[in-house]
Amino acid sequence: MGERFDVEKITLGTRSRPINMKILHINTERTWRGGEQQTLYLLKGLTNRNIRADLVAQPHSPMAERAIEAGINVFATTMRSEIGFWAGSRIRRLIKQSNYDIIHSHTSHAHALAFWASMGCGIRRLVTRRVDFSIFRHSFLHLSGIKYRRMADYYIAISRKIKDVLINDGLAPERIFVVHSGIDPDRFRHLSGNHLIKEFNLQPHEKMVINVAHLAGHKGQQFFVRAIPQVLEKNRDVRFFIVGGGELSAELQALSTALGIGHKLIFTGFREDVGAFYKLADLFVMSSVQEGLGTAVLDALAMGIPVVAANSGGLPEIISDGHTGRLVEPANPNALADGIIQLLTNTDLAKRMASRGRELVRNNFCIDTMVANNIEVYRTVLNRAG
C-alpha cells in the first residue's frame, strides 16, 4: 500500500534548514477566485523562504498581474486549451532552461498541459485539487481516469474529503497528500464597514446574515434563500446578503421575489470590499452541497463571526457541530433555518462557538502553516524520486 502521509499531522521544524529546490507553478485561470488567492499566498511564502517559485499564467490575468506586483517571476503565456502546442512548447523550454525540480499545477487545464510539456524531462509532476467533485463528473468515456492516473505523479488535496473522493475514483492513497488551505486571519481586521450602513440603510437593531460565495449550483444558495422566510417568521429584524456574482444570479433573484423576501435579501454582486461585509456581519452561512474546504468560512471564523454550514465536502474539517459552529444537513432549507435561528437567538452560545473557531483558524489554517506543509510535500516528492 505504500507509505501513509498526511501533511497536516506533521510537526514542522525544518524551516531553518537550507532548501535547494526550484518549483514551476502553472495557473491557467483568467479570473480571480479562491484557488488563485491560495496560489499567490503559496508563491509569496515560498519566495520569502528563498525557494525559487516561478509562475506561468495567462497574460493580463489577475493571477499574473497580482503575482508581478508581489515580485514573483511570471512567464505570461496564452494557454487556450489543455493541449496547446505553443504554450506547451514554451513551458517545455522553461523546464529545460531552468532545470526545475517540480512542476506544480493549480488548475485542471494546467494539469494536462504540464504533462504534455514535461514529457521526458525527468521533472516531478504535482497537481493541487481544490474541488470535491468526482474526476468523472464531466468525463467523456471516463477519459479523466487516464488523466488523473497517468498524467501526474502526486496530488495535493486541500481537504481529507477530496482525498477520499480521489481514492474512490481509483487513485492510489500514497500519491495523495492533504494540505489545508490557509488564510491571513488579520486581513479584514482593520477595515471599516461604515459605508455599508449608509449604502444599505442598515438599522442599529437589525442583525446582518451573510453568504459569500460564487453563485453556482454547488454553493447551494437556493437552499439559503428558501430558509429565509422561516427565519423571518421568528425574527423580522434580520437582513440577509449574498455577496458574489455568478451564473445563477438571475435565477436566485427570481426565487427571492417569488418568496416575497426581496426587501430583506440583497444580492450585492461581485464586490471589491467583501471584507466590509465580514466586519458588520452577525452570522455567516455556508450552504454548499459540495465544497472543497471553504476559505470563506475560515475568513468568517477569523473575524469571530458565528457560522452555520452545511455538512458537505471539507466543511466538517472546519466546523465541528456545537463546538466551532453549527453543522446542518445539506440541501435542507429547514435545517439551515433552524441553525440560523438558534445562533441569532442564543448570542452567548454563538459567541463561544465563534471564539473556538477563531482559535482553530489561527492554529491550523493560517498561510504560514499552508506554505510550510506544501514545502514538506515537495521534500517528500523529491526524496521519493531519489
Please state, rounded to an integer, the average pLDDT across all residues of the chain.
93
HEC assignment per residue over 174-206:
HHEEECCCCECCCCCCCCCCHHHHHHCCCCCCC
Sheet strand arrangement including 22-27: 74-76, 52-57, 22-27, 102-105, 124-129, 154-157, 176-178
Q: What pLDDT score was predicted for residue 189?
A: 87
Task: Decide if 214 contacts 246 (C-beta within 8 A).
Answer: yes
Give Cα 51 distance to the centre of its chain.
24
Return the higher-pLDDT residue of 82 and 143.
82
Confidence band (pLDDT; 50, 70, 90) for 81? confident
Q: What pLDDT score was predicted for residue 143?
A: 65
Give Cα 318 distance to the centre of its chain.
13
3-state secondary structure of 21: coil
**Phi and psi at residue 114, to the nearest 5°:** -65, -35
Q: How far apart are CA 118 and CA 113, in angstroms?
A: 9
Q: How far apart are CA 308 and CA 336, in angstroms?
A: 7
Cβ-proximal residues to 158 (8 Å cutoff; 6+ apart), any chain: 38, 128, 129, 130, 178, 179, 180, 181, 292, 293, 314
Q: What pLDDT score was predicted for residue 144?
A: 73
Residue among 154, 86, 97, 147 nearest 121 (CA): 97
385 has a pLDDT exceeding 90: no
10 has a pLDDT exceeding 50: no
Q: How far apart are CA 158 and CA 181, in angstroms?
A: 6
Q: How far is CA 83 from CA 58, 64, 111, 174, 278, in A?
A: 15, 21, 10, 28, 41
Task: Decide if 317 contacts 159 (C-beta within 8 A).
Answer: yes
Which residue is associated with the grid cell 481529507?
160
Give Cα 179 distance to the centre of its chain.
12
Give residue-wise pLDDT tens across range 263-278: 999 999 999 999 999 9
Tell me what the mean pLDDT of segment 280-301 comes to.
97
Residue among 357, 363, 297 nearest 322 (CA): 357
Q: How many helices (H) and strands (E) does the chain have?
A: 14, 13
62 has a pLDDT exceeding 80: yes
Domains and CATH numbers, the chain: 7-182+366-384 (3.40.50.2000), 194-364 (3.40.50.2000)
Give residue-wise pLDDT tens across range 102-161: 999 999 999 999 999 999 999 999 999 999 999 887 654 456 778 888 899 999 999 999
Q: How far apart are CA 94 and CA 221, in angstroms?
A: 43
Q: What pLDDT score was predicted for residue 386?
A: 64
14 has a pLDDT exceeding 60: no
Q: What percent of the chain has pLDDT over 90?
A: 87
Q: How far is CA 193 from CA 188, 199, 271, 355, 358, in A?
A: 10, 10, 13, 21, 20
Long-range contacts of 349-356 (CB under 8 A, 24+ apart): 350/283, 350/306, 351/304, 351/306, 353/306, 353/307, 353/322, 353/323, 353/324, 353/325, 353/326, 354/301, 354/304, 354/305, 354/306, 354/307, 354/325, 355/304, 356/323, 356/324
Q: How far apart are CA 147 and CA 42, in angstroms?
A: 25
> Residue 102 is placed in which grid cell?
517540480
Give Cα 89 distance to the centre of its chain.
30
pTM for the predicted model, two decimal places: 0.90
Give me the residues paired with residue 307 across strands. Answer: 284
Q: What pLDDT score was predicted for residue 138?
A: 61
